[in-house]
Structure 1
Amino acid sequence: METISTIAVCGAGTMGSGIAQLCAQKGIDTILFDVNETILQNSRRRIWMNLDSLQQKGKIAGAELAAIQKRLHFTHQLSDCVAPVMIEAIIEQKEVKATLLNQVLTINQYQTILASNTSSISINALAAAVSHPQCLAGLHFFNPATIMQLVEVIKGEQTAPEVITTLLALSKQLGKTPVVCNDAPGFIVNRVARPYYLEALRLVEQGLATVEQVDAVMEASGFKMGPFKLMDLIGIDINYSVSCIVWEALGKPPRLTPSALQQQKVEVKQLGKKSGTGFYQYQ
């Protein structure tokens, strides 16, 4: 199978920016789209800072940095997103995603693979709202996308086999370890990880431990990051949304009831690192 030479990434938030940077670092011409020009400018600034940091650490040479920057194309025009693969990394709302995916299909004359980076929305449900569902699969990266090795490749009921084959090859081209899973609530990682977050939140809610104590114990036990630091990194709003979707999709089992403490954080916009305040302070 031929390697992918061009990719479009739709959504220039934390995940979209990380995926775009990764693709460009791996030699792929990358179109990064966002309808919001301010978000797009912030994305460029963040990626440039990341690349400068890599150069200062001796991980990339000056010529390589310039080549990576040249491969990145920032645009607020969706019509520029012409590529054999489009990775969607926008807001976790099915209707908004479906609208974008259908527009991209039209722009590419139905000759593109649609890969959604959704962490929680059903690929089958999303496919039901897409004009060519055989083109759609999940491609779930983890934050930070440039570092985390795992990628979940999610197969929907209507996903064409060649789409999965291409996404597996692309994941390996990006230096990742892909795992194929069928569409299910939370896929694999987010389904397994719910108790890690929810039990930690319950300990704090019940006054049995502090945020710092829980993180310290888990990190001393071998986890690279405690649950509260990880929620702050992911985004408390995103983590809470995933908990709600998984809980509802599985019939609202009590053991997976979303946390009231986490909900409160979302309501007051204390979302973690991206807002400057979460379970920890970052300002």
Structure 2
Amino acid sequence: MNIQTVGVIGAGVMGIGVAQNLAQTDHQVILIDISEDILDKAKYEIRNNIRLQSFFQKSDNRKTPDSILEKIDFSTSYKLLENADFVVENVTEKWDIKKGIYPQLDAICPQHCVFAANTSAIPITRLASLTKRPDQVLGIHFMNPVPMKPMVEMIRGYHTSETTIEIAKQMLSQMGKECVIVNDSPGFVSNRVLMLTINEAVFLLQDQVATAEDVDKIFKGCFGHKMGPLETADLIGLDTILFSIEVLYENFNDSKYRPCPLLKKMVDAGLYGRKNGQGFFVYQ
């Protein structure tokens, strides 16, 4: 299938990254969110991200921020998706929010359109059940920052067809990415392991076993990780981390996924990490 127009639902950190990556690889993008203020902020963030990225990726063929932004339509209307070939959904990790989106997509998007949930933990089969095309729904778990991460986790739902998998692989290849295909299970592979690691690191901080700096220093110095678990949590967003762990706890009903009280307190206090300047560390 010739994938030309891609809808991106949600203009948060992940949606911004997906939209930017798609536009930089010559896709026409429709970025949708609930308000013009959010979309204006997304446009500002994409412009800044492109400028920052240019410092790390030198190229004679580098595109200007304006030429990339010209490929993105910023809108609050799902109506623009009536010609979309592919849609990537990136909204908040809450079932009550996500469940209202897929019936709208199903009603507006053309029959050939594939839906990909960029979710950290919510089961793909459950999301697919909200549509009349469950064989055309799969998960694509992009990593942050999206334009700079070459690998994604692709999740096959119960009904996902081989044709859908191949279409998604084609689009990812166009974006310059490889994928590892896994089966549907809450948290999949990456977050089923990562969220436990982050949650336990927060318990270490709560129990005063070590400072945030020292927890991360051990992971970077002893294991060669580029970022420690608490820096990683700040990058993802502590609110997203908490939502993901709560989804794992709800789905597995296993106490090992019990969210650390300190994590819940920090989210209640509005300390989300890099996205608003303070989490386990302070950002300017």
In 2: Cα distance, 1:56 partner to 1:200 partner? 32
In 1: Cα distance, 2:237 partner to 2:57 partner? 30
Cα distance, 1:63–1:200 mapped onto 2, change above 3 Å = closer
Q: 1:252 corresponds to which letter in structure 2?
A: D
In 2: Cα distance, 1:109 partner to 1:6 partner? 12
Of 100-109 and 52-61, more deviation after overlay is shown by: 52-61
Give per-residue Cα distances to partners, 1:29-67, cap 9 Å, x unaligned. 111111211110000011111223344667356872243
In 2: Cα distance, 1:60 partner to 1:187 partner? 36
Please report how far the alpha carbon of residue 256 of structure 1 lies from its aligned counterpart in structure 2 after TM superposition: 3.0
Q: Aligned residue for 1:48?
A: 47
Cα distance, 1:58–1:238 mapped onto 2, change above 3 Å = closer
Cα distance, 1:55–1:228 mapped onto 2, change above 3 Å = closer
Q: How does 1:186-197 map to 2 (within 5 A)?
A: 186-197=187-198
Q: Aligned residue for 1:7?
A: 6
Q: Aligned residue for 1:244?
A: 246
In 1: Cα distance, 2:167 partner to 2:13 partner? 25
1:67 matched to 2:67? The reply is yes
In 2: Cα distance, 1:176 partner to 1:58 partner? 16
Please report how far the alpha carbon of residue 19 of structure 1 lies from its aligned counterpart in structure 2 after TM superposition: 0.2
**Percent identical across equivalent pairs?**
32
Number of residues of Structure 1 aligned to a counterpart in Structure 2 = 281
Cα distance, 1:208–1:76 mapped onto 2, change above 3 Å = same
Q: How large is the Cα RMSD of the aligned pairs?
A: 1.8
Of 63-72 and 45-54, more deviation after overlay is shown by: 63-72
Cα distance, 1:263–1:168 mapped onto 2, change above 3 Å = same
Asked whether the 8 Å contact 2:94–2:243 carries over to 1, the reply is no
Question: TM-score w.r.t. structure 2 length?
Answer: 0.92
In 2: Cα distance, 1:109 partner to 1:193 partner? 36
Q: 1:173 corresponds to which letter in structure 2?
A: Q
3-state SS, counterpart of residue 146 of structure 2: coil
Q: How does 1:136-175 map to 2 (within 5 A)?
A: 136-175=137-176
Q: How does 1:102-181 map to 2 (within 5 A)?
A: 102-181=103-182
Asked whether the 8 Å contact 1:105–1:111 carries over to 2, the reply is no
3-state SS, counterpart of residue 164 of structure 1: helix
